Structure formats: C-alpha cells, structure tokens
Amino acid sequence: MTNLRSLSARAQKRPLWRVSGQQKKGFSTSSRRYSYADTVPNLKIGAHTKVLFQGFTGRQATANVQESLAWGTKIVGGVKPGTEGEHLGLPVFPSAQEKAKPDASAIYVPGNQTAKAIEEAIEAEIPLIVAVAEHVPIHDLLRIHSILNTQSKTRLVGANCPGIISAIGKCRIGFQPLPCFSPGKIGIVAKSGTLSYESVASTTRAGLGQSLCISMGGDVLAGTNFVDALKIFENDPDTEGIVLVGEIGGTAEIDAAEWIKDYNRRTTNPKPIMALVGGLHAPPGRIMGHAGAWTAVGEPDAESKYQALERAGAVMVNHPEKFGEGMKNLLNSRTRDRNAMPTSAPNQKRGLHTMRRVSVAKTQDMFPSKQTRSLFIKQFQALDMLKEKSISVQEASPSGSDIFLTLTIDRTALSPCIIASSVADFAPSKTSRFPFAYSATGISSGEGPIIRSIASHLQLPESTHKNLAELVQALWQIFKEKEAYLLEVRVNPSAEGSLEVRGARFGFDDAAFRSSGRQEEVHRLRNPAEEVQEEVEAEKDGIVYVKLQGEGSIGTLVNGAGLAMNTVDALTIHGGHCANFLDTGGKATSETVKSSFRIITSDTRVKAIFVNIFGGLTRCDMIAEGIIMAFRDLKMSVPVVVRLRGTNEEAGQKMIAESGLPLHAFDSFEGAAKKVISLAGGKPSN
C-alpha cells in the first residue's frame, strides 16, 4: 500500500512512553523518524483484510462474527486470554500476539477492559484496531494515545463507534446494520452511528451505494478523525463522492473544512462533498448523549462548524435522508464538468438549497450550566480540593484583573492541554492553548517551558512564576488522581506577585466510576436531589434525557445521540418547538420506549410526540410493537407521530398504521415533521 508522506504535521520523533518512572520501549522498531499519521493507509480495508476478534467468545462478539462471516468478512479467529481452542469453527488464541497475523482486530470487550485489549494489539503491531465499546474511561484513552503517538504500525478507530466497513470488499469490523449497505461509490465518515446508518440508507435508496464507511465515534478522544478519512477517500478510486457527518464538540469539523478548502483549491474537478452538523440547537454547556458531544471553552459551536464547512465548499443538508438524491445530482454535475474539461476546480454548491438558515444563540460562559454523563461538583468542593494541595483560595466575585486557566483535553493533539486566557469569554485573540504529553513530569517547574509560555501569554511578572507552577501542578495532580476531564479556575494576581484562586469549576469522568468502579469518593459528591428529576429518572433506565427550556410543545424519542440532536435541529428548522432531547441508546427496546414515553408525558408542555427510530441493530417491527404496547399500557392520549426507517421498516410502518391508536406512521422525515408540528399546534415552515 502506498505510503502517504504528507499525512500529518506530527511526523517528528516522539519521546518514549513512561509509566511510573519506568521507561517502556516504543512499539515501532523502525529506526527512521516515525509518526502515528503513517498508519492512515491501514484504514483501506477490503476483501483482503484478515480480522481477529478480541473478546471472541462473548455473546455480542459471537453474534457479530456469525453475521460478518455470512456477509463475506475474512475472520481468522479470536482471542480469549489464557485460552486455546476453537469457537465457531475458528481458532481461539490466548493473546493477540499469537500466530494469526491479522490485518485488523475488532475489540469486543467492556469499556473497563478496552484499554488493556488495545495495548495488547498495539504490542502485536496489528495494523488496524477497531474499538466499539462506549464508557471507556477518558484517562485510559489518554494513556493509549500517548502510546499510539510513539509508533507507526497501528491505527485505532474508535472508541465508542460502530466501526469501519467496506461495502465493496464485504469487510465489516464493527456492528453496522448490514441490510442498509450496498456496494457503490460514496465514502462516509461520521461521529454518530445512527446518523451514519441514515446516510448509508439514503445513498442505498438513491442507487449510489457505499465504498468505505469510517466511524470517528462519539468520544472525546478519537483514534481516527475526519481529515484521516478524507485523505483515504481522496486517493480511493472506488470513492466518487464523500459524506461527512459532524456534531458539537472539538474542532474536527473545522480541521476538515480547512482540508476541504485546500483540496478544492488544488484539485481539478474534485469529488463532491456533502455534510451535516448535529447540535445546532443543543443548549450550551450540556453533554448531548455522546461522551464527546459538548463544547469546551474556546471550541467552535455547531453553527461555526456549519459555516466553515459551507465556506470550504461542502454542500450542507439538515437531515441525512437528503444525502442520496443530493449526491446523485452532484455526481451528475461532476460528470458534465469532467466532460467539459474545466480549467479550474468547480464550485460544488451548484444551487442545491437544502437548509433554511436559522440564527443560533451563542451564549457560552466560562462556567456554563450543568452537564450530564459527567460529574460536575459544586464550586466550594472544587476549592476544597485546591486547598488540600496548599493553593491559596478565596471565593470572590469576578473582577477585571482576573485571569483564567483551564486544564482539559486537546481533542486534536489527543493529549492534556492548558488553556490560558486574560478574558472570561476566552476570545481567540486573548487565549492560547498549551498541549503537553500525558506522561509529562516537567510542567510544574517555574523554569519549565510551559509555565514560562503561560506566564508570557498572560503577561504575568516573573515573581508569579513559582505560584503559577504550583497552581498548574496542583491542577495536574487533581486531573490525574481523580480522573478529571475539565478543571477551570478563575485566578486573581496580586500586586505582590501572588496568585489567588477566586472561582473554580471541576468536571470528572463518570465512566471511570460507572464502568471501572474507580473514583467512588468523587462520585459520592453528586447530589441527584438537586438535579432535574426527569433527567435522573431517565438515567436509571439508561436513557439520556435533557429537558429543553422555552415553549417546547413537541416531545422527542430517538435512538442514538447524533440522530436525537439532528431531530431537534431539523424540527426547529421546520418551525417546531422541542421540549426535550431524548436518546434511548442504539438498542431501543419496548421497555426503554415505555420508560421514555412516561418521562416525556410528565412534561405538561408536550402536545405531541415525535418518535424517530432508525432500525439498525433493532428491527423496526420490534420497535413498532414496543410503541403500541407502551401506548396502551400508559393509556396515553397525546398524539404520536412515528417515523421508522431501516431493517423491516415497511412491516413496522404497517403495524403502526393498523394499530387503531392515535399513531401516525411515516417514512419521510419531512412529512413526519410537518405532521407533528401541526398536531402540537404549530405551523410548519415551507
């Protein structure tokens, strides 16, 4: 496979990985300068790809292997630690380093075991690792990325993603719903699983099919990003058009926009690119289902991402069902342009109007409202943690001389990062980012380069450097010891050169507790009685529910965080007013549907409910049965509009239509949106 020499600016030599003061060798044996970016070509899977399964004998892996084998994927066996034998007629190996010599490994173990399995596959120098589990602790992944960045053999896809699939090569590494896929010409890269399935189904219905579909995943730290995928699609002869599905959180979409702008500038008749960004109407400061679906200080919001992609030349849509016909039109135009032998790269927009522009409020404070799927402690608790580290603390109101420090995660550098700003709104001109290695030990020194750089940016006198180093070191200790992902402090420098912390907001990774049983003492600081009770009740059933403010009259019930964000966006764009965001999870069941209805109808504002389900892992007829049963059991009177797409969609739609209940079945989003808006007493936009 051709080596892509220009894949990344991170091609410099990386330091060796250090753990607990012990030096561990880098995993690559190459003597040349190496880079994780060298592994991007490993994403081009196909009929040749030999796949190993880690967690091979588990229930989910077994079912997945059986489906994938029947589809045509070349699976060579699996791993069960310490065991040799046979499963499904394939060999079982005691470790990933034994015998099989695979091209890829599918990791099917729980979130608390995922990092260990990934490390084992890296040590075996397996070219591609696909990690599907969610709730992998963030600090486990920070450690994994510190390892990945020392080598040039292994590429990671995930975690928290459906995987990667070649429809042409019949190679599935993940749990994507196979009935949606057909061999074809569209490359798809997405953060959201359900939105990627919708995109696949749309291109299948349009007769275009797919070449390669890559999931970026919904975690804070992604092993493969949009630019990595775009580079593969650019050089892939099977890919003629590209679909990109983004959402709030991080800067990956902005990086993709810069790449697209450069690609269009340097390419005659470039491949058409279409895109969608979820979370245009997500409330500021909330985590919207995916662990990475939140906007940190200094990060662009969804509207900024939308505008950047549009300016770069991507055709923007408001719903994934528009990708199929839209891409067909763009490909036809590209063929005409090619036949006309253009002298410069064409404008891809070509008048395809797909989205009514809506102004989105940009209200992001330093300390925004509480989030879910994480743990934010109270300010006094955060200040107490700093006092325990001998940091000078005095809670006080903001003043014009305050400076602001945040220790968080840089999603591009895939490492910890200090953000320093002289203004509360973190205006770009007043803000700088200082990423550093997760294994770094020198950030506390007053003479260290990071401390000097932060002090220089904030224009702090040399007399403050020692206190600044002590504060940064205290934040770093709390970050690692208690598995934080966001530590924000408001600091006031005195005329004598001291630094006093006046305000703080600390956020911790709840996956460390939920999946791994770590950080129980931090988790005990949570007081659910002070939270929104509907959100707490939903959490008990594995449902992510966010109560939206305002005049919301439409309740939403959706399977998948990305699809749930897009549903709120699209209904709002059509003139509706949503009362909530609700993600049942990728595997909606009759019980989760029933619990969801109960929570939604407890909101007296709700006049109609919109159920938007893509039946991928779960069949539409099973979902329809669950909706009908829940409707009857709860004796509901609120009208419900149901849009079912995916596996067995016709059977599910028929069951809804023939139920005799006030349920309205649709397959088209446009039709369903107009119906639910009118039932809720609104007037759909044209």
- H helices of 124-251, in order, are 138-148, 193-205, 226-235
pLDDT digit string (tens) for 244-281?
999 999 999 999 999 999 999 999 999 999 999 999 99
Q: Does residue 22 register a pLDDT over 50?
A: no
pLDDT confidence bin for 14, thresholds 50/70/90:
very low
Active site residue 290: yes
Q: What confidence tens digit (pLDDT) does each residue in 142-180 have?
A: 999 999 999 999 999 999 999 999 999 999 999 999 999
Structure confidence at residue 359 (pLDDT): 39
Name the packing angle between helices 649-657 and 620-633 (round to 10°): 20
- Cα 74 to Cα 45, 58, 71, 90, 213, distances in angstroms: 11, 19, 9, 11, 18
The rounded distance, in Å, linking the Cα atoms of 36 and 40 is 8
When pLDDT is averaged across residues 40-57 and rounded to a whole number, the result is 97
At 140, the pLDDT band (50, 70, 90 cuts) reads very high
pLDDT at 459: 94
Give the model's confidence band at 367: pLDDT under 50 very low, under 70 low, under 90 confident, else very high: very low
Lowest-pLDDT choice from 91-105, 277-291, 342-356, 386-400: 342-356
Q: What is the pLDDT of residue 340?
A: 66
- pLDDT > 70: percent of the chain: 88
Higher-confidence position of 643 and 343? 643
Handedness of CA 312, 317, 319, 321 (dihedral sign): negative
**Two structure tokens written together for 439:** 């294994």
Q: Would you state the pLDDT for residue 620?
A: 85
DSSP codes joined into one string, 228-272: HHHHHHHH-TT--EEEEEEESSSSHHHHHHHHHHHHHHH-SSPPP
State the DSSP H helix or E strand holding residue 488, giving kind and residue range, or none if neither: strand 484-493
- pLDDT for 298 equals 79
SS3 breakdown of the chain: % helix, strand, coil, rounded to 5? 35, 20, 45
DSSP string, 519-531: -HHHHTT--GGGS
Q: Which of 587, 584, 528 is nearest to 557 (CA)?
A: 584
Residue 685: which pLDDT band, with cuts at 50, 70 and 90?
confident
CB-count exposure of residue 142 (10 Å: 0-12, 13-18, 19+):
buried
Instruction: List Cβ neighbours of 215 (8 Å cut-off, separation of 6 or more).
Output: 157, 158, 161, 162, 163, 164, 174, 189, 190, 191, 193, 196
DSSP string, 300-334: --HHHHHHHHHHHTPEE-SSGGGHHHHHHHHHHHH
Q: Look at strands 50-54 and 74-79 and give their pairing.
A: parallel
The closest alpha carbon to 507, from 408, 596, 624, belongs to 408
Question: By three-state DSSP, how is residue 62 classified?
Answer: helix
Residue 637: count other Cβ atoms within 10 Å of its Cβ.
8
**Above pLDDT 90, what percent of the chain?**
72
Cβ-based neighbour number of residue 460 at 10 Å: 21
pLDDT, the chain, mean:
88
Closest listed residue to residue 276, CA positions, set 300, 244, 254, 239: 244
DSSP state of 78: E
Pair 294, 249: CB distance under 8 Å: yes
Nearest-angstrom CA–CA distance, 446 and 469? 5
Question: Does residue 504 carry a pLDDT above 80?
Answer: yes
**pLDDT for the residue 98:** 66
What pLDDT, on the 0 to 100 scale, is given for residue 617? 65
pLDDT at residue number 447? 59
CB 103 within 8 A of CB 166: no
What's the Cα-to-Cα distance from 599 to each of 117, 307, 537, rounded to whole Å? Answer: 38, 35, 8
pLDDT tens, position by position, 533-586? 999 999 988 899 999 999 899 999 999 999 999 999 999 999 999 999 999 876
What mean pLDDT comes out for the span 279-292? 90
Q: Which of the residue ranges 107-111, 440-444, 447-451 would you say has the lowest mean pLDDT?
A: 440-444
214/603 Cα distance (integer angstroms)? 38
In this predicted structure, which of 123-127, 136-140, 372-376, 650-654 has the lowest mean pLDDT? Answer: 372-376
Largest CA distance in the chain: 78
> Is pLDDT at 135 greater than 80 in this prediction?
yes
Around 564, how many Cα atoms within 13 Å sit in the side-chain half-sphere?
28
pLDDT over 80 at 8, yes or no: no
pLDDT in tens, 406-421: 999 999 999 999 999 9
Given pLDDT bands bounded at 50, 70 and 90, which one contains residue 495? confident
Which residue segments constitute the domains of the chain, with CATH numbers given? 36-160 (3.40.50.720), 177-331 (3.40.50.261), 379-524 (3.30.470.20), 529-680 (3.40.50.261)
pLDDT value of residue 364: 39
Among candidate residues 290, 319, 465, 577, the one labeled active-site is 290
Residues facing 163 on adjacent strands: 174
Please say whether the beta carbons of 562 and 194 come within 8 A.
Answer: yes
| Neighbouring-strand partners of residue 432 | 420
636's tokens:
């509901």
Residue 296 reports pLDDT greater than 90: no
